Amino acid sequence: METKQAEGPQSSTTDNLLQRLSWEVKQIHGCLSEVQKFWATRVGVTVSQWNILMAISHLAGDEGVRVHVVSEKLAVDASFVTAQSQLLESKGLIYRKPSAIDRRVVLLALSSKAQWQIEELSGSMNAVNAYVANNASGKAHRLLTELGELKSVLKRAELLTASDALRHWPRGRDTA
């Protein structure tokens, strides 16, 4: 019985590009989750809840941020953000309020307790950020730009897959 040899990291075939990309992203996600877990446990929340707190921290203006904006940023369903935000509110870390413009819309904002806890962790967060920035040199910034472009390509591939258009798509690059 013949076994298929695993291709090395320098393989140039495009046949396994999505799988290789998936593995790399999963491994990077695992590393990021471990770092986030350290901070999350200090605040007494899960990694998912920590990510929601960070999204609110970065996205909320003076009035707060809509649930769907947080869900889009984190690429999760809005119902998940709603459920987790209720738990975060019960811990006194965020508050939820109706929008002054549209009372059907719920806005999320950090409580002073959450702001204080995040501030307490800012030294650690800044140190890790500086470490990554210093050791990845300019590569990290270029990679972020390229990942943004790749995300756009993958979103289009998702649409193509969903519409079953790949069956009819010619091999090679999309030149449109």
Query: Could you tell me which residue, 171 or 112, shows the higher pLDDT?
Result: 112
Does the structure show a pLDDT above 70 at 6?
no
Q: Does 124 reside within a domain?
A: no
In angstroms, rounded to a whole number, what is the distance separating the alpha carbons of residues 172 and 99?
A: 48
Does the structure show a pLDDT above 90 at 57?
yes
Q: Tell me, what's the pLDDT at 128? A: 94
Q: pLDDT category, 5, cuts 50, 70, 90?
A: very low
Q: Does 5 reside within a domain?
A: no
In angstroms, rounded to a whole number, what is the distance separating the alpha carbons of residues 54 and 19?
A: 29
What's the CATH number where 105 sits?
1.10.10.10
Q: Does 81 reside within a domain?
A: yes
Q: And the tokens for 159?
A: 């649409």
Q: Tell me, what's the pLDDT at 166? A: 53
Please tell me whether residues 101 and 146 are part of one structural domain: no
Q: Does 34 reside within a domain?
A: yes
Q: Number of folded domains in the chain? A: 2
Quote the pTM value.
0.78
Please tell me whether residues 70 and 104 are part of one structural domain: yes
Report the largest interatomic distance among the alpha carbons of the chain, rounded to a whole angstrom. 68
Please tell me whether residues 44 and 85 are part of one structural domain: yes
For 12-22, the pLDDT digits (tens) are 566 688 888 88
Please tell me whether residues 106 and 36 are part of one structural domain: yes
Please tell me whether residues 29 and 101 are part of one structural domain: yes
Does the structure show a pLDDT above 90 at 113?
yes
Q: Does 4 reside within a domain?
A: no
Please tell me whether residues 97 and 141 are part of one structural domain: no
Q: Tell me, what's the pLDDT at 3? A: 44
Please tell me whether residues 153 and 104 are part of one structural domain: no
For 69-111, the pLDDT digits (tens) are 999 999 999 999 999 999 999 999 999 999 888 988 989 999 9
Q: Does 86 reside within a domain?
A: yes
Burial of residue 153 (CB within 10 Å: 0-12, 13-18, 19+) is: exposed
Q: And the tokens for 72?
A: 């889009």
Please tell me whether residues 105 and 149 are part of one structural domain: no
Please tell me whether residues 100 and 143 are part of one structural domain: no
Q: Does 129 reside within a domain?
A: no
Please tell me whether residues 35 and 85 are part of one structural domain: yes
Please tell me whether residues 107 and 151 are part of one structural domain: no
Q: Tell me, what's the pLDDT at 64? A: 94
Q: Does 155 reside within a domain?
A: yes
For 137-164, the pLDDT digits (tens) are 777 788 888 988 998 988 888 887 777 6
Please tell me whether residues 79 and 148 are part of one structural domain: no
Does the structure show a pLDDT above 90 at 176?
no
Q: Print the domain residue range for 153.
A: 136-166
